[in-house]
């Protein structure tokens, strides 16, 4: 790893540690099963999680949070149940596309689907109608527990304001920024993505709330609103990164 890449890796480690020290474990993705996580990953496209929770509650009340039941229900009825998540006709079609593929190719078994190696599993997910890179990687990380970094708008915004964005704005370029410079640890990738979401919602908004930002001192010369002296100390090594369900703070 060259000196520039090493400095970027150091910065990414500092960012993670500061976010974790500020917010603690996020215990994300909420869901009672891998299948529910997948349903949530599809429904959360272009909407707030609170809306997804309402849609999932509707599915639970109808006993539809399993592949067989969801495959059997009519698409128009499914659309009405997921209406709170917005774009409900399109999302119903996406859910049906996923369970139909799962049923036809894998006998309705997530275990059989997850027997694929990470590269092949990602290709399979991306080949399903309505599943793009962010949704596919959310499924890989949170449902299949594969060490892959999820990129979303919050991540791009925060990394850009800190002056660490790659030259390309593509999803793949941002993903490789993390994948090439951090240890491939599923638990840490899980927390890091969730911490970016938390920080992006609470502080680093489109109109940022920089006062008290735990990252502000890293970005005075770059982030347009950050205050305080810029510093980049040597971070601690990742040591047993917190994993989903840990109770530690």
What's the pLDDT score for residue 217? 86
Where exactly are the structural domains of the chain?
Answer: 3-27+152-218, 34-143
What's the pLDDT score for residue 224? 57
Cα–Cα distance between 21 and 215 in angstroms, integer?
A: 11
Q: Give the total residue count for the chain.
A: 249
- pLDDT tens profile 42-94: 999 999 999 999 999 999 999 999 999 999 999 999 999 999 999 999 999 99
Percent of the chain with pLDDT over 70: 87
Cα 122 to Cα 17, 50, 119, 231: the distances in Å are 29, 27, 5, 38
Instruction: Establish whether the linkage from the previous residue to 29 is cis, with ω within 30° of 0.
Output: yes
Using the CB atoms, write b or e for 81-96: b if 16+ within 10 Å.
bbbbbbbbeebbbbbb
Structure-model confidence comparison of residues 244 and 123, the more confident one: 123
What's the pLDDT score for residue 222? 56
Q: How confident is the model at residue 226 (pLDDT cuts 50, 70, 90)?
A: low
Global confidence as pTM:
0.88
Q: At what angle do helices 34-43 and 88-106 cross, to 10 degrees?
A: 140
What's the pLDDT score for residue 2? 77
For 85, residues 6+ apart whose C-beta sits below 8 A from its C-beta are: 43, 44, 47, 51, 52, 54, 55, 91
- pLDDT tens profile 176-223: 999 999 999 999 999 999 999 999 999 999 999 998 899 988 865 556
Structure-model confidence comparison of residues 1 and 185, the more confident one: 185
What's the pLDDT score for residue 46? 95
Query: Does CATH place domain 3-27+152-218 in 3.40.30.10?
Result: no
Average pLDDT on 221-232 reads 49
Average pLDDT on 163-180 reads 97
Nearest to 192 by CA among 221, 161, 155: 155
Q: What is the 3-state secondary structure (H, E, C) of the chain?
A: CCHHHHHHHHHHHHHHHHHHHHHCCCCCCCCCCHHHHHHHHHHCCCCCHHHHHHHHHHHHHCCCCCHHHHHHCCHHHHHHHCHHHCCHHHHHHHHHHHHHHHHHHHCCCHHHHCCCCHHHHHHHHHCCCCCCHHHHHHHHHHHCCCCCCCCCHHHHHHHHHCCCCCCCCCHHHHHHHHHCCCCCCHHHHHHHHHHHHHHHHHCCCCCCCCCCCCCHHHCCCCCCCCCCCCCCCCCCCCCCCCCCCCCCC
Largest CA distance in the chain: 59
The number of CA neighbours under 13 Å toward the Cβ of 167 is 0
What's the pLDDT score for residue 3? 86
Read off the tokens for 231.
């510093």
Query: Over the chain, what is the mean pLDDT?
Result: 90
The CATH label, of 1.10.287.40, 1.10.340.30, 1.10.3720.10, 3.10.350.10, for the domain at 34-143 is: 1.10.340.30
Average pLDDT on 15-27 reads 96
Average pLDDT on 227-239 reads 41
- Computed from CA positions of residues 64, 65, 68, 70, in that sequence, does the dihedral angle turn out positive or negative? positive
What's the pLDDT score for residue 230? 41
């Amino acid at each position: 790893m060259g000196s520039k890449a090493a400095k970027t890796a150091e910065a990414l480690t500092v960012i993670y540690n500061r976010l974790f020290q500020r917010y603690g474990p996020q215990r994300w993705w909420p869901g009672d099963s891998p299948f529910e996580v997948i349903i949530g990953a599809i429904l959360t496209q272009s909407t707030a999680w609170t809306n997804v929770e309402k849609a999932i509650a509707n599915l639970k009340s109808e006993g539809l949070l399993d592949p067989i039941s969801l495959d059997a229900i009519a698409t128009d009825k499914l659309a009405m149940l997921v209406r709170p998540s917005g774009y409900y006709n399109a999302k119903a079609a996406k859910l049906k596309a996923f369970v139909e593929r799962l049923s036809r190719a894998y006998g309705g078994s997530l275990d059989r689907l997850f027997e694929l190696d990470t590269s092949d599993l990602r290709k399979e997910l991306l080949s399903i109608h309505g599943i793009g890179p962010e949704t596919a990687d959310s499924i890989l990380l949170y449902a299949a527990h594969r060490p892959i970094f999820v990129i979303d708008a919050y991540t791009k915004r925060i990394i850009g304001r800190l002056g660490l964005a790659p030259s390309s704005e593509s999803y793949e370029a941002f993903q490789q920024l993390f994948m090439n410079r951090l240890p491939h640890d599923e638990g840490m990738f899980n927390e890091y993505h969730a911490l970016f979401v938390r920080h992006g919602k609470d502080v680093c908004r489109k109109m940022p709330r920089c006062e008290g930002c735990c990252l502000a001192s890293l970005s005075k010369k770059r982030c347009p609103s950050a205050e305080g002296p810029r510093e980049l100390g040597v971070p601690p090594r990742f040591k047993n990164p917190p994993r989903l369900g840990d109770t530690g703070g």
